[in-house]
Structure 1
Amino acid sequence: MRSTPRKLSLTGLVALTATSALLLTACTDASQSGTDGSTASTDGESSAAPSFDPSTIEVDEAAAALLPEDIASAGVLTVGSNTEYAPAEFIGEDGQTPVGFDIDTIKAVGATLGLEVEIQSADFPAIIPALGTKYDAGISSFTITEERMQEANMISFLNAGSAYAVASGNPDDIDPESLCGVTVAVQTGTIQDEDIAVQSEECEAAGEEAVDILQYESQADATTNLVGGKAQVMYADSPVIGYAVEQTGGQIEQLGDVFDAAPQGIVVAKDATDLAAAIQAALQTLMDDGTLVEVLDGWGSGDAALETAEINPSVG
């Protein structure tokens, strides 16, 4: 969830892309970090990314008919994504191919609309401002918020939450109800980044020590610095936490329950109403025939799939 809110959800990770350095400013064990969006387990093995074949999807002609003419004639949907947030979007083991459940979802949408999908890696805060010019759409664990819906159309497909992670066994005996004085790693621009700043202010207002916030441009760096011991807590979307736990071979664990569940969606420009309608129709087809659950199940997040795709849904 990003703030720019971004992401929420549950499953464990260290997503290191080919361009995010294995050696960070913190003291970390680079021998256990992969370059494919995974982190090697303690026995030296790493988990391969699941794969979904969009060629198995049939075109929904009714949904495709809703596409704006320029995109339909080009036959390509250009999508911006911050490919540093496993398991939603990250770079695969070849060091260049975007993978993840968001990537598989948008490729399934494209196939349903009869389009090729071109994923372009982007800084997270730069995606929404570039909609309609550089990108036709964006998919990057965008939590749906009132603020974002003022800037873009958002089409819901997934429900996720936030969660904390700590070193296995919680050696510092961290209380998830109070992070005052605790060193917390977050990705810049996420909802968690915004929320931990508020929590820190509340600590100070109550006469407690402020949260020591470590902000990183990539989720990979945040996770690596938790594993390496520079951070005591990592705060991220629940699927990211869950995937991190798995990919780090149990070196970290989730702290407490998932909270603040909220829908996430695909974003398109505010004036791109035809494209929003086409994507909504495609997502609904994928929901109705079970494909969306199948896609998300490959990443351990099938339970997060929504049953109804909505454009700019009401959020609390």
Structure 2
Amino acid sequence: MENLPMRLRPATTFAALLLMGLPATVSAQEAPLRTALDGTFAPHAMPTMSGGVEGFNVDLVNLIGERLGREVELTSAQFSGLIPALQAGTFDFLAAPVTVNEERAANLLFTEGFMDTNFAFVVPTDAPEYADLDAFRGKTIAVNRGSAYDSYLAERADEYGWTVESYGTNSDAVAAVLSGRADANLAGATVAAWAAQKNPQLALSYEIETGLVWALSFRQDSTEMRDLVDRAIECLKIDGSMAELSQKWFGVEPTTGATIVTPTPGFGVPDFPGYAEDDHQPSCDGLAS
């Protein structure tokens, strides 16, 4: 079979072996990890010219496979269908970045956070420094209509006195900043960093901490696999791989203590359902089968 970019392979490899009459002796430990994400969420996953997908989460899940000594079968699909497919057993876990909240944690099992789910402003490179939200008073801020960032700005418009201009896509909101029709754009921190990295006329500005994280999601009966992938994420944090991915895809050097470079005690996200206290020490030893 032709090697597709970033190990994007059909999800029928194992079944094909059985149909060809090959011995069905592949153990669960040796079987590929079946995972999926939304391939249109740049810079976490986006199409390549050759028909594959690339991005932060594509690299992340392949590094996890390397640390565990397992092949990865990565499927690109619409986000709305990912969780139902996971629950149906189509995938072992989701490589998509999913924000951990009470509702989701009541139905899914999560690894520890691999990144903080923060908001960030993008401004022109010649703009003054914005040290806090007060600095945006009286400014016009462009945002993707109907997004969490749109709601955040609208709910605080009276308090901070900014004008919110909503656009059909975040790309249109970024274009408003580039054309001078808006003073700033608010989006997810990684999307904002990507926009600044791709547009020399833009700069990453003030970041709003939400207290939430992105994590990889599993079915609730997949505790053993969740814990194993959690340990692989810890390995990537302590061996410098996560910091390298941040530089590569966001152009950002993680700060000390940020979730992307700081292992979380136990397994899962503390204070949410599914979290398991454990005193294991983060390590890269003993992960591969």
Letter of the 1:112 partner, please give it. Answer: R
In the TM superposition, what are the counterparts of 1:60-209 in structure 2 within 5 Å? 72=29, 74-86=31-43, 88-92=44-48, 94-133=49-88, 134-155=90-111, 156-159=113-116, 161-170=118-127, 176-177=133-134, 182-186=140-144, 193-203=147-157
What is the DSSP-based 3-state SS (H/G/I as helix, E as strand, rest coil) of the residue aligned with 2:166?
A: strand
Letter of the 1:182 partner, please give it. Answer: T
Aligned to 2:203: 253
Q: How many Å separate the matches in 1 of 2:239 and 2:205?
A: 35
TM-score in terms of structure 1 length: 0.60
Task: Spell out, residue by residue over 1:240-292, the C-alpha distance to the aligned partner (whole angstroms, 9 max, x if none).
Answer: 3223212112x222333453354321112233223212211222333344444
Letter of the 1:246 partner, please give it. Answer: Q
Structure 2 gap segments, 5+ residues each: 8-25, 273-289
Runs of 4+ in 1 over 4 A off after TM superposition: 178-181, 206-210, 219-222, 228-232
What is the DSSP-based 3-state SS (H/G/I as helix, E as strand, rest coil) of the residue aligned with 2:196?
A: helix
> Could you tell me which of 191, 196, 199 is aligned with 1:240?
191
CA contact (8 A) 1:81 1:121 kept: yes
> Could you tell me which of 219, 225, 228 is aligned with 1:269?
219
Residues paired across the two proteins, number: 238
Aligned to 2:19: none
**Gap change, CA 1:181 and 1:306, over 3 Å in 2:** closer
Q: How many Å separate the matches in 2 of 1:117 and 1:255?
A: 36
RCO comparison, higher one (Cα < 8 Å, 6+) = 1
Structure 1 gap segments, 5+ residues each: 1-50, 54-68
**Gap change, CA 1:82 and 1:153, over 3 Å in 2:** farther
Shift of residue 164 of structure 1? 0.8
Shift of residue 105 of structure 1? 0.9
Q: How many Å separate the matches in 2 of 1:72 and 1:179?
A: 56
Letter of the 1:118 partner, please give it. Answer: E
| Percent of matched pairs sharing the same residue | 21
